[in-house]
Copies of this chain bind each other. A is one copy, B any other.
């Protein structure tokens, strides 16, 4: 077979502010690959199918700085990397035959790539009722974060009250930060500084949508907040009993009227966390998944932690990396429920690597309407 173009999205320059399509990243078609003969050196040749575009990726476009929050920046001139799904088209690894579908955070934005080490990747079985894109959102890491976090930490009981925040929006940074820092967290007991990925702006997330639905399944009353009326409307459609726009409605007033809250799913931190502490019920559980309020302006001090012992509260930090024990249950139940329409999801799908630059910008400005995914190839 003749060599074919192997399109790539290369990291071209550090943006000053928002990523600029065609400047921050460029779509490059100068490389070719011969599928049949390209050397694998014992590895796999993978054809990229879908790529996840997430707000956290903005952090990887920033130069390392002297701040406490070290980053893991993309390399100039190299393909950017993110969550994605590919199919093995040729293999020199007898344990991973061609035809297998793989999912992981280290998928380069290029049409074909050689994978030497499958550590960190998992294999997926596709539900015929779902497209692969869904396996990056509700049936992927964001959905898993919600599912595993809720199962492990919510201790939810029927009749309780849950509060789910999405603030200016937020994209399961927790999981991503953890995944990227896997080695330092897992192996270095003495490690001091932890790399953080910074998010500039965010969106109503797949994990929030999933948490609202899981809470309703468990018989809780759900209070949810978001930053636009459209998002508030969607929250109501998927079951939130009380949904409000925190830009036009005071969070404390709502919690005073509708609370106190037994479970708090926190994507925001800052003053909203303080408000939630004020309106927590005795023995409430706080599931902290992210703190977007601090990503850009620095973390605001939380002043109400004395209420933890006044009210016997528990606060749990959620890192999906360390909740792998829920993967099997997740994949055997959630994709089926999504395919059957028992759980709702929302995605915003674009086609072709040449759209990545635009979508990277869209997820920073909030222009996308659902989980942002780029389809690179049909099977």
Contact = CB atoms under 8 A, between A and B. Distances in A.
Nearest to A188: B260
A322 B194 contact: no
Contacts of A311: 185, 194, 317, 319
A311 B288 CA distance: 11
A2 interface: no
Interface stretch (A108-116, A129-137, A238-246, A302-310): A302-310
A310 B186 contact: no
Given A302-B301, A316-B314, A256 B308 contact: no
A295 B214 CA distance: 39
Interface string A117-146: 000000000000000000000000000000
> How many chain copies does the complex carry?
2
Interface string A283-313: 1000011110010001111111111111111
Most buried by B among A299, A304, A305, A318: A305
A70 interface: no
Given A313-B317, A317-B310, A305 B189 contact: no
Contact of A309 (B177, B303, B313): B177
Given A310-B317, A310-B319, A192 B278 contact: yes
A6 interface: no
A68 to B, nearest CB: 9
B315 A322 contact: no
Contacts of A317: 307-314
Nearest to A305: B302
A304 B68 CA distance: 11
A51 interface: no
Contacts of A301: 300-303
A295 B300 CA distance: 20
A279 B190 CA distance: 8
A299 to B, nearest CB: 5
B256 A192 contact: yes
Interface of A: 174, 177-178, 181, 185-186, 189-192, 194, 196, 256, 259-260, 269, 273, 278-279, 281-283, 288-291, 294, 298-319, 322
Closest 6 CB pairs of A and B: A301-B301, A308-B317, A309-B317, A174-B309, A315-B315, A312-B319
